[in-house]
Structure 1
Amino acid sequence: MRFTALTSGAVALALTASAAFAQDRAGWPDSFTVGTASQGGTYFAYGSGWANLVADELGISGGGEVTGGPMQNMALVHTGDAAFGMTTMGPAAESIQGTNPIAPGLQMTNACAMFPMYQTPFSVTTLSSSGIASIKDIPDGARIGFGPAGSTSDTYFPRMMETLGVNFERRNGGWTDLGGQLQDGLLDVIAFAAGVPVPAVSQLEVQTKVNIIEFTEEEQGKILETFPVSSFSIESSTYTTLENDARSVSMWNFAIANCDLPDDFVYAVVDVVMSDNDRMVSIHRAARSTLPEHWNKNEVMKWHPGAAKWFNENGASIAGEMVHGG
């Protein structure tokens, strides 16, 4: 009898806990998607990885979705067509101002900051056989692949090249496709803006000899003066091709969430991603920068209240006016 009574009590306690847990998830979506970018780029590998991690940990169906990159992700998350996405600070600022080319005039203020990801370095890759070993070596009319239309790379790298006096033919496409075109001689240069190591570059290194071109100090200085970027150094250990660190510039990336998602849902997602950096790094090495202390790299977007709550509980000091609805 005593065993039965204890068992009944345990069952009742379990049922009570289950009911409370279910109640805590009221309003949560049954599934979610994360807007990433094209296959072969860092966004797709990183975004699909954290989407799968969150889906496994929270027991919700979710995954990464191929998109055109940051500009499109801002639009998808703003409208709610994607729960989550990934963007860089430049495209985020343009989208909030209403200058996103996908929907000119629409201020995409319903996409909220969720967590810092990593810095996106801007780098140039060519085949060693091309003889191009510096920006100045790029010939007039060179065919340059700038990534998917509307991506961070496509938005900023052509302007950077023009600032540096490069004349080129502009080509767009997914990173894997552009890597194949470079190898086949259909492109002269690929201008990457992606977290390193870029999967497409790593694959090229396996198949052929490449040059990963750094900016000179003068070139870097011109870009820093003109664009919303920071100085960056690509570590030599990133690629087998590099013998020394490569001078570059970078732009911060943030994960974004539709601002209307339940606070406790977004809080739970942020907790999964930010609480175990080792697992994130196992998804992609760029996640070494996916750390709570980088919360202050966002000076553009309002924070989702659920995300702001997590970061403020973990050492941040996000001001109320920087929180959506605050």
Structure 2
Amino acid sequence: MSAGRFPTLCPLVTACALLVGSVATLADDRAGWPEEVLLGTASLGGTYQVYGDGLVTRLIDELGVEAVSQATGGPYHNMTLVHTGVADLGLVTLGPARELWDGEAEFAPGEEMRDVRALFPMYQTPFHVVTLAGSGVESIADLSGKRVGVGPMGGTCAAYWPQFLEALGVEDVHLQYAGANHLTDYLTSRLSDAFAFCAGLPIGAFERLERRREVHMFGLTEQQQATLLESFPVSPFEIPADVYASMDAPHASVAFWNFAIGHKDLPESFVYEVMKLVLDHPEAMEAIHPAAAETRAEHLDKNSVIWFHPGAVRYYEEQGLEVPTAMLPPEMRPDEEAEDAADVAADDASDETPSDTAD
């Protein structure tokens, strides 16, 4: 080989070596990644469905993983699916998540679903109501004796609207359980008097309804808001007047924060890449749904329920954000605290009774 060919060959060999090294590193980084990722969302027509479908598309297009979104009953269902390993990822509101985390859910009493880990904050879910204009239902008090859709069984709205109405002294409500799209059809067919829902704003089903019919939307009075804030683990929220064309003034409401969750055994590298995908490019998530304006790393402090996944902790720490010790998974805590958490988990396991809640 002539000496004159070395200057050309050496860079080529170097580039090939770097390429091989990069491929090897990529393969190492993806070791243990799930072959297919299943993400639990909620009913069609709700914000979870739009947000989750968009996230799955980004996982496929930008991370190159096989991913599927699955319509579910919502947060209670998603916590169960992720805890049992049926789903890899899910979307939850922290109210239902706390019930299942602490073993206080009515359908699974005593079963603490702690094989779930928190990933990233999504947005807040406020509660509000839509009716057809001229229906005579114009406020929360008017719901007494009426047929009211509250979302699908197992969803946040279906779980909390009945409790809210009881706390506010609204009696004899005939509750209807179905997905968001179905409940808007109930309204237009006069099979319902009102649709009381909760989701990230704007709610697609509400928007479609107001394009088809004249509607009336309302939230809470200040006194009703104060009553719910005192009685439930919710935050005050104001629905802006410009969210829907049918609104001409802000509505008082209350809200839960939503977080994405994953199974505790998901590889750290996979979760870390999901965190980067979502939080490094907020504009891409906002293009999926406007509610993602709140999908920001600094809102990690809104989660005081579910331990964060190590891959999420790594991401937050690289952003200069501190995850509270109480929200670290046991394996990442100081030795003494980790031992205490392990003892609690062992005690819980010894007391655990079989459950038939998993799908």
* Shorter-chain TM-score range: over 0.9
- How far residue 151 of structure 1 moved from its aligned partner, in angstroms, is 0.5
Q: Give the alignment of 1:106-145 within 5 angstroms.
A: 106-138=111-143, 140-145=144-149
Match of 1:8 among 9, 13, 16: 13
* Residue in 1 that maps onto 2:166: 162
Aligned equivalents of 1:103, 1:295: Cα separation in 2 = 28
Identity over the aligned pairs, expressed in percent?
Answer: 42
8 A contact 1:72–1:102 mirrored in 2: no
What is aligned with 1:173? 178
Name which of 37, 62, 77 aligns with 1:72.
Answer: 77
Does 294-303 or 96-105 show the bigger shift? Answer: 96-105
1:317 aligned partner: 322
Given candidates 303, 306, 309, the residue that maps to 2:311 is 306
Aligned to 1:238: 243
Residue 46 (structure 2) pairs with residue 41 (structure 1) = yes
The 5 A counterparts of 1:218-257 are 218-257=223-262
Distance in 1 (alpha carbons) for counterparts of 2:68 and 2:145: 40
Q: Please name the residue that 2:34 is paired with.
A: 29
Deviations 1:253-292 (A, max 9, x none): 1111101111111011011000111111000000000011
Larger Cα-atom Rg: 2
What's the TM-score once normalised by structure 1's chain length? 0.97
Question: What whole-Å deviation, never above 9, does each CA across 1:16-75 have from its counterpart, x for those lacking one?
Answer: 211111111111112201110000001110111112112211100113210000000000
Q: Equivalents in 2 of 1:74, 1:100: separation in Å? A: 11
- Partner of 2:134, secondary structure, is helix
Residue 80 of structure 1, CA deviation: 1.0
In structure 1, C-alpha distance between the alignment counterparts of 2:61 and 2:328, rounded to whole Å:
28
Q: Tell me how far apart the structure 2 counterparts of residues 267 and 104 of structure 1 sit (CA, whole Å).
A: 33
SS of 2:104's partner is coil
Q: Residues 186-225 of structure 1: matches in 2 within 5 Å? A: 186-225=191-230
Partners of 1:86 and 1:255 within 8 A in 2: yes
Secondary structure of the residue aligned to 1:39 is coil
1:224-275 deviations in Å (ceiling 9; x for gaps): 1111111101111110111111111111111111011111110110110001
- Gaps spanning 5+ residues in structure 1: where? none
Name the Cα RMSD after superposition.
Answer: 1.2
2:302 partner letter: K
Secondary structure at the aligned position of 1:92 is classed as helix
Structure 1 stretch 281-290 or stretch 4-13: which is displaced more? 4-13
- Taking the aligned partners of 1:242 and 1:136, their CA distance within structure 2 comes to 19
The answer as to whether partners of 2:51 and 2:289 remain within 8 angstroms in 1 is yes
